[in-house]
Structure 1
């Protein structure tokens, strides 16, 4: 069962830079979300196995595997599919295509604008709430 706060989302933040992870987690908490942080791909996969989040924010440059591999493994392993967003310094068209091919719903380039990120999460939260109310199990982020 997902540990979702009453008005927020459960968010798994996969980021190896401690300062970035901490500041992003603080922003998410201030916005009413419940963030968990994983500093590498293996830790992220363990977190998802324990509890599938509503949203996964994944850096592509991780120490043990790239974020695309993490995304593919989450898609293959998770029953309920989270919305997955790359938040990365990699911003070429090839990187965006690789993200889509790996099953990522969106690709944001760092530094991600905090207002844009929180606005995006608010739209995802509304979409999940609307789908829960209508009984639909299909969850995908608007592009």
Structure 2
């Protein structure tokens, strides 16, 4: 009789453990990428009033896609820690830069990163362009609010 009682307790323990495992797996925790998804409107650039530039962020799996803020194309980013980093460290914008000496070069966004704080999305990157004779480089900080 003692072994029947021990077997019953073991069976109950296994059953309760299995139920606990199932219940913990079925919780629908929010995806951290969801907080970035949506349409954002620029409110500030480098501390000055922004021009209302739009930014649309969508997700696919664990990747964010940023569109509309560049004239041509989009950028993908991966979330890490408290923000995201562009997957490509040098993003061609498709925009030509004409320099004072009439040389011309492609404009790139370097080290694009984003973070959320107080309901605002802050993008930081460096605008860079270099011809054979001249170059341009400027750090940019844009703040967006969700539309």
Between structures 1 and 2, the one with greater strand share: 2
**Scaled by the length of structure 2, what TM-score is found?**
0.30
Considering Cα pairs closer than 8 Å and 6+ residues apart, tell me whether 1 or 2 has the greater RCO: 1
Between structures 1 and 2, the one with greater helix share: 1
Larger radius of gyration: 2
**Scaled by the length of structure 1, what TM-score is found?**
0.31
